[in-house]
Amino acid sequence: MAKPRAEHPPADAIRALADGDGRLAVRVTPGARTEALDLADGRLLAKVRAKPEDGKANTAVRELLAAALGIGASHITLLRGATSREKLFRIED
- Structural domain contains residue 56: yes
Residue 60 C-alpha from the chain's centroid: 8
Domain count of the chain?
A: 1
Its domain, for residue 73, covers 11-91
Q: For the whole model, what pTM was predicted?
A: 0.90
Indicate which CATH number applies to the domain containing 77.
3.30.1200.10
- Segment 25-41, tens digit of pLDDT: 999 999 999 999 999 98
- Segment 64-83, tens digit of pLDDT: 999 999 999 999 999 999 99
- Structural domain contains residue 2: no
Q: Distance between CA atoms of 2 and 18, rounded to whole angstroms? A: 32
